[in-house]
């Protein structure tokens, strides 16, 4: 019975090793995709070879021959079925070595426990050792794969990956050497110092990984902040230039009105004898007045930058066939920098316009800005394409809305449901998401802009202690912002 269990556990150990290796290689920036039968055959050879070389190694007293085979075959699998970059192959190789050494450390620790009579050596000892090796492989794989996926989300550089794996690898080698030395040392000095060293080494690794993850996060935030500043400065310069053009155009329009008045007076004097001609001339002049007034700047707010943004964005929405309604009270935004006003309103109105343009025939945008008690309340409502709703459960990723073959999620920090994106109510804690099936090229074109856009809004509001909430109700998407009044800051 014990012999049969040992054989079964040996096969199970080999199978788990192959599954763990495949799981890591699949999540390590896989760029080559072949038929499933090729992957099955490749890892079958890896498992059979590992099993066979383990037996051969015991016969010739060379346990490293198995590792040598695994290293060579993992490189072959990586080149043929997974990767094209040397660093990815190096990470595959490093992971394979980590699995091997983790198993060896498990063996040595159990042998140490048997030797110290912490565990009793019996016919089941071999099965226990293999079970521990399986558990160690699964734990190592789960941790490394989870970390690798997180690294892909925050876009850590490949050199940083290699650096962060260096200490754990050296630690495993050190522990392996320590256990080897312990076989002699324990007889002379006992096991206490060995155990202290092992525990201290584990703590050092955890501290290193924690500090490294904090450093990576700080580096990522620095990159996002740099992109935020560049984008905001570009927007501000754009609207600053637009304000200058508006001032120049108002002067020209003022002169044009004077010229039209003069033309109208002259025409009335010359056409007084012909009522029909006078009527036609008056209509013609009124049409010219209307055209000139259309070119002028409409008054929305006493804040000059907000007024420029509303004129630009809402006029653009009207040109796209969107019904626009704006109700802006006498709200003081003097505590906000012009660049921050640009960031907040330009991004939100852009997103709302893109979403409304993709909705049905009843396209609309409604914007209200008012003061309620001690808060400035901003509400932007826009129509959305109802047929594109999906159900989203927080914490789960909808793969149907993600074309990326590596399982990376599409940026979810989107507002206004633009047609090229997946929008999640993460900011509001909601449970609704929208997925729009658009051409991949179009989605990639706007993905960066929209992702940075709403993130910029959120960051800017945080500076002024503001909050942003998003909600969807029956074909409408509402963004609500609450900013404390100036004197409350």
pLDDT tens digits for 411-463?
Answer: 333 333 333 333 333 333 333 333 333 333 343 344 444 445 677 788 888 88
Q: Given its phi and psi angles, is residue 188 left (phi above 0), alpha (psi -120 to 50 degrees) or beta?
A: alpha
Place of tokens 């690794």: 205
Q: What percent of the chain has pLDDT over 90?
A: 10
End-to-end CA distance of the chain: 76
| DSSP symbols for 150-201 | HHHHHT--HHHHHHHHHHHHHHHHHHHHHHHHHHHHHHHH-SHHHHHHHHHH
Average model confidence (pLDDT) across the chain: 73
Q: Which helix (H) or strand (E) holds 378?
A: strand 375-383
Place of tokens 């003061």: 371
Tell me: pLDDT of 481 over 90. Answer: yes
Separation between Cα atoms, residue 321 and residue 61, nearest integer Å:
81
Per-residue model confidence (pLDDT) at position 385: 81
- Least trusted range by pLDDT, from 102-111, 126-135, 443-452: 443-452
Per-residue model confidence (pLDDT) at position 365: 95
φ, ψ of residue 434 in degrees (nearest 5): -120, 135
Tell me: pLDDT of 468 over 70. Answer: yes
Rounded mean pLDDT of 71-94?
84
User: The sheet that has 476-484: what strands, in order across it?
Assistant: 323-328, 364-372, 375-383, 476-484, 467-473
Q: Which helix (H) or strand (E) holds 43?
A: helix 36-60
Q: Which helix (H) or strand (E) holds 364?
A: strand 364-372
**Residue closest to 33 by CA, chosen among 98, 83, 69:** 83
Per-residue model confidence (pLDDT) at position 408: 33
Tell me: pLDDT of 320 over 80. Answer: yes
DSSP SS3 for 371:
strand
Q: What is the pLDDT of residues 198-243, one digit of tens each?
A: 777 777 877 877 777 777 777 777 767 776 776 677 667 777 777 7
Per-residue model confidence (pLDDT) at position 474: 79
Helix axes 2-26, 64-77, angle to 10 degrees: 40
Tell me: pLDDT of 364 over 90. Answer: yes
Most confidently predicted of 127-131, 188-192, 353-357? 353-357
Residue 338: C-alpha distances to residues 68, 227, 239, 407, 466 (Å):
64, 18, 9, 39, 16
Compute how many other C-beta atoms are within 10 angstroms of the C-beta atom of residue 322. Answer: 21
Per-residue model confidence (pLDDT) at position 425: 34
Separation between Cα atoms, residue 131 and residue 136, nearest integer Å:
9
> Domains along the chain?
2-190 (no CATH), 299-488 (3.30.565.10)
- Least trusted range by pLDDT, from 70-74, 97-101, 253-257, 368-372: 253-257
Rounded mean pLDDT of 60-77?
84
Write the DSSP symbol of residue 411.
Answer: P
Write the DSSP symbol of residue 303.
Answer: S
Separation between Cα atoms, residue 47 and residue 75, nearest integer Å:
15
Tell me: pLDDT of 278 over 90. Answer: no
User: Between 360 and 155, whose confidence is greater?
Assistant: 360
Summary count for the chain: helices (H), strands (E):
12, 8
Tell me: pLDDT of 153 over 60. Answer: no
Q: How confident is the model at residue 322 (pLDDT cuts 50, 70, 90)?
A: very high
User: Between 201 and 159, whose confidence is greater?
Assistant: 201
381: its two tokens: 């409502």
- Least trusted range by pLDDT, from 54-68, 129-143, 271-285: 271-285
Judge whether 287 and 264 are in contact, CB under 8 Å: no
């Amino acid at each position: 019975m014990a012999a049969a269990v040992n054989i079964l556990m040996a096969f199970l150990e080999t199978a788990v090793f192959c599954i763990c290796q495949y799981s890591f290689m699949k999540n390590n920036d896989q760029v080559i995709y072949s038929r499933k039968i090729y992957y099955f055959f490749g890892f079958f050879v890896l498992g059979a070879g590992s099993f066979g070389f383990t037996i051969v190694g015991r016969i010739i007293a060379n346990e490293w021959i198995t590792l040598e085979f695994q290293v060579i075959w993992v490189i072959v699998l990586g080149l043929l079925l997974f990767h094209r970059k040397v660093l990815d192959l190096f990470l595959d190789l490093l992971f394979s070595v980590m699995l091997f050494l983790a198993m060896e450390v498990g063996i040595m620790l159990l042998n140490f426990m048997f030797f110290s009579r912490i565990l009793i050596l019996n016919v089941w000892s071999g099965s226990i050792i293999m079970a521990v090796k399986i558990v160690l492989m699964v734990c190592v794989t789960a941790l490394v794969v989870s970390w690798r996926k997180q690294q892909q989300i925050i876009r850590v550089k490949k050199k940083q990956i290699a650096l962060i794996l260096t200490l754990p690898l050296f630690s495993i080698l050190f522990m392996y050497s320590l256990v080897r030395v312990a076989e002699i040392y324990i007889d002379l000095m006992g096991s206490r110092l060995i155990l202290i060293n092992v525990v201290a080494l584990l703590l050092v690794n955890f501290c290193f990984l924690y500090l490294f993850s904090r450093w990576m996060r700080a580096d990522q935030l620095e990159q996002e902040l740099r992109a935020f500043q560049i984008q905001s400065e570009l927007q501000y310069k754009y609207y600053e230039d637009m304000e200058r053009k508006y001032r120049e155009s108002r002067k020209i329009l003022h002169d044009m009105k004077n010229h039209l008045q003069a033309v109208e007076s002259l025409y009335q004097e010359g056409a007084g004898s012909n009522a029909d001609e006078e009527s036609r001339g008056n209509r013609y002049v009124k049409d010219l007045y209307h055209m000139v007034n259309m070119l002028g700047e409409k008054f929305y707010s006493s804040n000059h930058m907000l007024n420029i943004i509303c004129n630009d964005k809402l006029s653009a929405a009207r040109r796209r066939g969107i019904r626009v309604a704006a109700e802006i009270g006498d709200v003081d935004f003097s505590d906000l920098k012009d660049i921050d006003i640009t960031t907040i309103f330009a991004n939100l109105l852009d997103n709302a316009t893109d979403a409304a343009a993709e909705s049905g025939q009843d396209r609309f945008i409604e914007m209200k800005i008012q003061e309620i008690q001690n808060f400035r309340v901003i509400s932007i409502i826009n129509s959305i394409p109802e047929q594109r709703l999906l159900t989203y459960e927080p914490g789960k990723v909808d793969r149907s809305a993600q074309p990326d073959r590596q399982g990376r999620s599409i940026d979810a920090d989107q507002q206004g449901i633009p047609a090229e994106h997946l929008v999640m109510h993460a900011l509001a804690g909601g449970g609704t998401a929208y997925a729009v099936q658009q051409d991949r090229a179009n989605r990639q074109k706007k993905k960066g802009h929209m992702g940075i856009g709403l993130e910029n809004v959120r960051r800017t509001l945080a500076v002024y202690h503001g909050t942003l909430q998003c909600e969807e109700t029956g074909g409408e998407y509402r963004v609500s912002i609450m900013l404390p009044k100036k004197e409350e800051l």
